[in-house]
Amino acid sequence: MPRIVFAYLIRRLIGAVIMLLIVSVVVFGIFFGIPKLVGQTNDQLAASFVGKAPTAEAIAQTKHRLNLDKPIWVQYGKWIQGVVAGQDFNNGPSKEHCSAPCFGYSFKNNQAVLPQLEDRAPATLSLAAGAAIIWLLSGVATGILSALKRGSIWDRAAMVIALAGVSLPIYFTGLLSMQIFSYNLDVLPGGGSYVPFSQNPGTWFQSLILPWITLAFLYAATYARLTRAGMLETLGEDYIRTARAKGLAERAVIAKHALRSTLTPILTVFGMDLGLLLGGAVLTEHTFGIPGLGQLSIDGIVGNDLPVVLGVTLVAALFIVVANLIVDLLYAVIDPRVRLG
Amino acid sequence: MSDAKRPAETLNGGPAEVNAGTAPSSSFLELRDLKIHFPTDDGLVKSVDGLSFKLERGKTLGIVGESGSGKSVTSLGILGLHNRRNAKVSGEIWLDGTELVSASEEQVRRLRGRNMAMIFQDPLSAMHPFYTVGAQIIEAYRVHNDVSKAVARKHAIDMLGRVGIPKPDKRVDDYPHQFSGGMRQRAMIAMALSCDPELLIADEPTTALDVTVQAQILDLIRDLQQEFNSAIIMITHDLGVTAELSDDVLVMYGGRCIERGTANEVFHEPEHPYTWGLLGSMPRLDRHRSERLQPIPGSPPSLINLPQGCAFNPRCPYSDQTGGLSTSERPELRETAAGHLVACHLHADKRRQIFADEIRPKL
Amino acid sequence: MKKIRPIAALAAGLVATTGLAACGGGSGGSNKGAGYNAATDKVINQSDKKGGTLRFAISDDFDSPDPGNTYYAWSQNFVRLYGRGLLTFKPAAGSESNQVVPDLAQGPGTPSDGGKTWTYKLRSGVKYDDGTPVTSKDVKYAVERSNFTDELQLGPKYFKAYLQDNTPAYKGPYKDKSPQGLKSIETPDDSTVIFHLSKPFSEFDYLVGMAQTIPVPQAKDKGLKYEQAIVSSGPYKIDSYQRGKSMTLSRNPNWDPSTDPIRKALPDRIELQLKQSGDDIDNRLLAGSLDVDAAGVGVQSGTQGKLLSDQTKKANTDNPLQGYLRFASMNLHVAPLDNVHCRRAVQYATDKVAMQSAYGGPLAGGDVATTILPPSIVGYTKFDKYPQKYKQGGGLDDSTLAQAKSELQQCGKPTGFKTKISARSDRPKEVAMAQAMQQGLKQVGIQTEIVQYPAGDYFNKYVGAPKFVHDNGVGIMLMAWSADWPTGYGFLSQILDGRAIKPSGGNNLPEENNQKINDLFDQAIGNTDKEARAKIYGQIDQMAMDDAVDIPIIYAKALLYRPPNVTNVGITQGYGGMYDYLNMGVKK
């Protein structure tokens, strides 16, 4: 068995590397291809890294500095070369070495991409993980209660709130929650108050309470609905009737027999959601001024900063791949009918 | 086995007189005018509508009838598995001196699995796919027996062995999907019997199985009955199975009993046209191939709007021979011979004559 | 040049707070506000009280906080907290704030050689935060690196344009390691710096007033990486700068107030949060948990209503001119607009009030304009060549339309003509303005088609490329313009001087090439008399309006909020109508 699992992991790993390569090619293609389709030239791209009213000379120099004067496959080759062997970047008076794996050097920020990703990831991780715990617990609990008290006032109220949760945009709930709890009541810190855990765990926690709840609200709704539907379906299964026929107490029937089956498909959704979110909770980060990967990706996209866009996309893809792998492994643990392979 | 006597508190510890004015039953199991109705948006579904019978220890009652005749609803009703919020249950169910309809859910739950157990049809869906067969039997045992896991496991292996599963000490850790259909059914039986129930309800226990396995399973149930002296209710639409196993047979149609008697009576001197139909549609090994099975014309009645008069009248070829009674008046269940009850407006002599002249030769 | 406010519109696009407008609240209002527009012409809440933390936030980031590599107006304003250039804009409000005053230098530049040579003497005793003294060589080096290297491309390049070049051309200090560097900047001693220009330029003090003369010691220069290790010469030093996150400043222990007569340096600490949500910034300003929106381009549209509907809040707002003009240019080579009368017909028939409302009304849009120079620019002269009358309830008055028709008659197009109006496709308000203009012109028979081009290529590829304009017959082009320094020369030379016409990327959209105007530019910039120059700028404005090449639409304005706990608050016109950050403090 361990050998099977090992071989499986190796296979998945190779698949992941291939997928990340494809993602990098696609991002490169989109970055250079789409603007070309609408008639943008490399000169105009370079002009976005020069000040106002750029001269032709400045554009030429910038194009050369950023390798935008080379064909796209040469640029891609250089990028791959950097990943494998590292690369040097010219600051002006000196060169900076970016050692392998070097995921490029930002066009705008004058920093290597990887350290930026490492710098931003903890914020996104803190936000996503905390929110995930909240939404999973509250969403699943609400869903179970709703299913068990189906048709009751509680059920209806919970489902209305759930509908609100999925319909209201983060920037609305986020700004509203800050207006109330930060600016009117002054009980929780408002926007821009995030500090890293390593700097001050207390402030870190406080500053994340509203973002966590706001983000979790959006997802909890979905999970409540999923859980409710799944629980209702599971409760109709024959093996639940069997469990009851054994004389099991209702609580044991729910907790041991129904819940496990209900949660299994939710796990898949959860893995995807968390994986996606770890690539950057764009709106929440923006609304609360949390410097995470999502903010970095917006900056990258708005600023035509290909290496940053590429880096964030790859991180997001990696998180999704890893989340999927973990879900698949967990699935095999939970459901004995599933075989890895 | 230690099954013969239960601690008295379990069976007799309930509310002393729940159904005031009704005498407790002296039979092991007795149903009195059991009604199980489900209110729906379309109307009241009368799945079981006034069912009464008695069953003693060591005896087997076969309940036959088409799908939707109320067989399974009855068995779930006895086990108290209907959600009290969406099923209206009335009448009385006496199990060893305890009335179950008026008992608390908790009281019934404690009897479930221990005093009365059920073998469900389609064991693949009736067993939890995520737990090993052993774990599910262990769970069933430990609900009612305060023993360690190790002891329960030993018991589970023992039970699996008893139902004829080879290498039970190994198979105990297999998951349901790793068992074959017949093995799964055996495991299901092992689970149902794990607490030595006095009442065993088998709901189509062999429907999904091929004929050889079917026979083995039936043998097994019979052997186990002898060993445990259990009362068995065998629910099936397969008259062959019933004939083989049952002492008494009860035929249900449209939520009611239309004929009841010993297996011998019902199979050899059936008096209800519906029973004749059932027998005619039963494949038999001794039948000539050239003879075709005679399906009962028409389809089962709606349980919301039963036909006026006899519920079977739209499908009954003899309904015109009752002087219109069939379409106007519901026939009572009446004794036609000692212990043989039939609900039919045809005169008893007439019934016997039709059976002798028209039906028997075709069977 | 400032064609666009470099503040990411993304935040505003993502966030809409109409639903929040009713939530009100906020606790910052214990002090009564100084009044609506109080800070536009005088510094209010004056105080010398030191201490506290001054909190800035912005929805964007710096282009670069490196004084030699930044162009953004707010950044030029902000870098003065940690850097001292030779001169800078006077910390004041109103028209006074258009003047440049000595900072690192002892006095304004001394011109010689007919305005081609400019000499500055540095103050003595100015030190960097590491305690080393500031020398004139560092000023020279700062100008060389910011204007002549391949790497630092984000800032203006005026020094490169006006200073005499070496032969062969100077390649900047990163490539050219020769000790003399750019020969046209001399440093005869550690406190003197002399600039030699290729032609007379009387407004050189304004160029020197830009952040690029903030000294950089060569040994500390890290090129593009210098933004992470900026050496401070001002009252504050940079404790940390994290891209997209924040900058924090604390007192520079080596800053000597006796060498710095213009700075108060009140707060102990200054924080700048970057990339914050624009709506949240407004909410925090109102709640008192933030002191300044560093961008200085006004509150979000959702906040405007909240501020104006509440008198106490309104008393803490200013609605200054933002130093730029929204206007329409008419190309002199697209018929029939090559005829001045046809252009004048358009001048009369343009419904400026409708266009003003399309852009957001008088508050968020600005005042209806009749001159090319906005009132906050040195040289502004009030006049109206094409006076218009409006009907009660909107629309041009019949008499004005009659004027337009009479011009059409003289143009030989009595029934009107057809042309195109261009606008930037990704600027919905500009497109709305084009539509309003279209409606007005229709009344006199001028049929127009609106053509939209992306903002990113608007000047490089479309309306800034004369061939494209001629080939496509784009007669009328909407645009906005502001100056890098607030004088008529800074404002007008790129849009009206015939020598600014370029094959692409130009801003003289009408292709105005009037010899008299060109000569006036040369006269002005060669004239060291400020008053005389200002007069000439007014003349140029009038001549261009006689030529009717540009239709001024609105002098842009913005609604700014100043929390009452912030001291020394005044609108500086030097940086385009935002608060002056140099001497702000906080009441505790």
Nearest-CA distance A191 → chain C (Å): 6
Q: Which of C422, C419, C409 is nearest to C442 (CA)?
A: C419
Q: Which of B109, B120, B130 sits opposite A249 (nearest CB)?
A: B109
C403 φ, ψ (degrees, to nearest 5):
-55, -45
Tell me chain B's radius of gyration from C-alpha atoms.
21
Whether B13 shows a pLDDT value over 50: the answer reads: no
Which of B9-13, B61-65, C66-70 shows the lowest per-residue confidence on average (mean pLDDT)? B9-13
Residues C65 and C227 sit within 8 Å (Cβ to Cβ): yes
- Give start and end residues of each alpha helix (H) in C20-177: 73-78, 136-148, 158-162
Mean pLDDT to the nearest integer, C15-43: 59
- pLDDT value for B291: 55
Q: How far apart are CA C199 and CA B330, in angstroms?
A: 121
**Average pLDDT score over chain A:** 89
List, in order, residues 6 or more apart from B80 with CB less than 8 Å away. B100, B103, B105, B108, B109, B111, B112
Burial class (CB in 10 A: 0-12, 13-18, 19+), A293: buried
Half-sphere exposure of B168 (CA within 13 A, CB side): 20
Distance CA A99, CA A108 (A): 19
Question: Which sign does the torsion angle of CA C103, C105, C106, C107 carry?
Answer: negative
Q: Sort out which chain B residues have CB atoms less than 8 A from A260's CB and list them.
A: 130
C40 touching chain A per CB within 8 A: no
Residue B47 and residue B89: Cα distance in Å, rounded?
A: 10
Distance CA B98, CA B199 (A): 13
Give the pLDDT confidence of C184-198 residue by residue, as tens digits. Answer: 999 999 999 999 999
- Dihedral, A217, A221, A223, A229 alpha carbons, nearest 10: 170
Lowest mean pLDDT among A79-93, C26-40, C123-137: C26-40
pLDDT at C267: 97
pLDDT at residue number B128 = 92
Distance CA A35, CA C274 (A): 28
Q: Is C280 on the interface with A (CB under 8 A)?
A: yes
Contact (CB, 8 A) for B143 and A248: yes
Going by pLDDT thresholds of 50, 70 and 90, the confidence category of residue B200 is very high
How many other CB atoms are found less than 10 A from the CB of residue C462? 20
* pLDDT range class, residue C205, cuts 50, 70, 90: very high
Asked whether the beta carbons of A249 and B109 are under 8 A apart, the reply is: yes
Considering only B321-325, C283-287, C296-300, which range has the smallest mean pLDDT? B321-325
pLDDT of residue A114: 93
Residue B303: what pLDDT?
Answer: 87
Spatial separation of the C-alpha atoms in residues B131 and B173, rounded to whole Å: 9
Q: Is C13 an 8 Å CB contact of chain A? A: no
Quote the CA–CA distance of C68 and C160 in Å, as a whole number: 13
pLDDT band at B15 (very low <50, low <70, confident <90, very high): very low
The structure tokens 């397969």 sit at B238
Residues C398-431: tens digit of each pLDDT: 999 999 999 999 999 999 999 999 999 888 999 9
Q: Return d(Cα C509, Cα A92) in angstroms, integer.
A: 36
Q: Hey, what are C507's tokens?
A: 């801003």
* Domain residue ranges in chain B: 124-196
Chain A neighbours among B 140-159 (CB < 8 Å)?
140, 143-144
Amino acid B319: pLDDT: 85
**How many CB atoms within 10 Å of residue C147?**
22
Measured between alpha carbons, how far is C253 from C244 in angstroms, rounded to an integer? Answer: 27
- Kindly determine whether residue C279 and residue A171, on different chains, have CB atoms separated by under 8 Å: yes
Q: What is the reported pLDDT for A302?
A: 86
Helix (H) or strand (E) holding B118: strand B116-119
Helix ranges (DSSP H) in C111-262:
136-148, 158-162, 204-208
**Interatomic CA distance for residues A313 and A309, integer angstroms:** 6
d(CA B131, CA B172): 11
State the CATH architecture for C321-557. Roll (3.10)
CATH class of C38-274+561-586: alpha beta
Q: C111-137, pLDDT tens digit by residue?
A: 999 899 999 999 999 999 999 999 999
**Residue whose structure tokens are 């750019």:** C182
For A176, the token pair is 């509203």
Across chain B, which distance is largest between two alpha carbons, in Å?
68
pLDDT band for position C541 (cuts 50, 70, 90): very high
DSSP at C21: G
Asked if A268 and A335 count as a contact pair (C-beta separation under 8 A), the reply is no
pLDDT at B14 over 50: no
Instruction: Give pLDDT, residue A200.
Output: 93
Nearest to C430 by CA among C413, C415, C410, C450: C450
Tokens 């009248």 found at: B313
B114-146 residue pLDDT tens:
899 999 887 788 999 999 999 999 999 999 999
| Confidence tier at A8 by pLDDT (50, 70, 90) | confident
pLDDT at C383: 97
| Most distant pair of Cα atoms in chain A: their distance | 85
Other C-beta atoms lying within 10 Å of the C-beta of residue B212: 9
pLDDT of B238 over the 90 cut = no
Mean pLDDT in residue range A141-167: 87
Would you call C63 an interface residue with chain A, using a CB distance cutoff of 8 Å? yes
Look at residue A24 in the predicted model and tell me its pLDDT: 92
Closest CA to B106 of B57, B143, B149, B145: B143
pLDDT for B2 equals: 40
Give contacts of B 156-215 with A, CB under 8 A. Answer: 175, 177, 191
Strands B116-119, B199-203: parallel, antiparallel or unpaired by DSSP? Answer: parallel
Segment B164-188 mean pLDDT: 90
Average pLDDT of chain C to the nearest whole number: 91
Nearest CA in chain A to C482: A52
Same fold flag, C38-274+561-586 and C321-557: no
C23 pLDDT more than 60: no
Q: Is the peptide bond before C168 cis (omega within 30 degrees of 0)?
A: yes
CA distance C571 to C529: 26
| Residue in A237, A245, A261 nearest the CB of B118 | A245
Boundaries of every domain in chain C: 38-274+561-586, 321-557
Q: Which two tokens stand for residue C201?
A: 């330029």
Does the pLDDT of residue C8 top 50, yes or no?
A: no
Residue C347, pLDDT above cutoff 90: yes
Per-residue confidence (pLDDT) for residue C32, from 0 to 100:
67
Task: Give just the sign of the alpha carbon dihedral A194, A200, A203, A204.
Answer: positive
pLDDT tier at B360, thresholds 50, 70, 90 = confident
State the DSSP code for C230: P
Better-scored residue on pLDDT, C133 or A275 = C133
CB atoms inside a 10 Å sphere around CB A76? 18
Average pLDDT over residues C82-90: 97
Q: Which of C8, C14, C57 sits opposite A192 (nearest CB)?
A: C57
- Tell me phi and psi for residue C266, to 5 degrees: -80, -55
Size of interface A-C (CB pairs under 8 A): 167
C554-577 mean pLDDT:
95
- Chain A neighbors (3+ CB pairs < 8 Å): B, C
**Under DSSP, is residue A25 helix (H, G, I), strand (E, B) or coil?**
helix
pLDDT value at C382 more than 80: yes
Which among A41, A21, A113, A88 is positioned nearest to A297, based on CA atoms? A113
Residue C273: helix, strand or coil by DSSP?
A: strand
Residue B289 pLDDT > 80: no
Amino acid identity of B63?
A: I
Q: Which residues contact A17 (CB under 8 A, 6 or more apart)?
A: none
- Model pLDDT, residue B4: 40
Identify the pLDDT of residue B284: 60
B238, B267 Cβ separation under 8 angstroms: no
The pLDDT-based confidence of C286 (bands split at 50, 70, 90) is very high
User: Given this model, what pLDDT does residue B27 score?
Assistant: 87
Q: C144 or A90: which carries more pLDDT confidence? A: C144
Whole-number pLDDT of residue B293: 62
Residues of chain A numbered 24-53 and touching chain C (CB < 8 Å)? 38-40, 43-44, 47-53
Asked if the model's pLDDT at residue B21 lies above 70, the reply is no
Distance CA C40, CA B230 (A): 99
**∠ CA(A121), CA(A122), CA(A126), 5° rounding?**
120
Rounded CA-CA distance B272/B266 in Å is: 9
Indicate the SS3 state at residue B89: strand
Q: Which of B126, B130, B144 sits opposite A242 (nearest CB)?
A: B126
CB pair distance less than 8 Å for B113 and A257: no
| Residues of chain C contacting A91 with CB distance shorter than 8 Å | 151, 222-225
What percentage of chain B carries pLDDT values higher than 90?
39
Min CA distance, B240 vs chain A (Å)? Answer: 26
| Contact (CB<8Å) A245/B120 | yes
Whether pLDDT at A14 is above 60: yes
Task: Give the whole-number percent of chain A exceeding pLDDT 90.
Answer: 45
Is residue B70's pLDDT more than 80? yes
The single-letter DSSP state of residue B11 is: H
pLDDT at C360 over 70: yes
Residue A151 CB: number of other CB atoms within 10 A? 9
Query: CA A114 → CA A77, A100, A121, C163, distances in Å?
Result: 18, 10, 10, 41
- Kindly write down the DSSP assignment for every residue of C488-499, as one continuous string: HHHHHHHHH-GG
- pLDDT(B290) > 90: no
Are the beta carbons of C420 and C475 closer than 8 angstroms? yes
The CA distance from B54 to C380, in Å, is 111
Report the candidate in A223, A316, A325, A327 with the shortest Cα–Cα distance to residue A278.
Answer: A316
- Could you say which of A242, A260, A334 has the minimum Cβ distance to residue B120? A242
Kindly report the nearest CA distance between residue B340 and chain A, in angstroms: 32
Contact B126, A331 (CB under 8 A): no
Kindly state whether B125 is in contact with chain A, defined as any CB-CB distance less than 8 angstroms.
yes
Residue B16's pLDDT band, with cuts at 50, 70 and 90, is very low
Residue C1 pLDDT more than 80? no
Cα–Cα dist C100/C119, whole Å: 15
Q: CB–CB of A302 and C3 under 8 A?
A: no
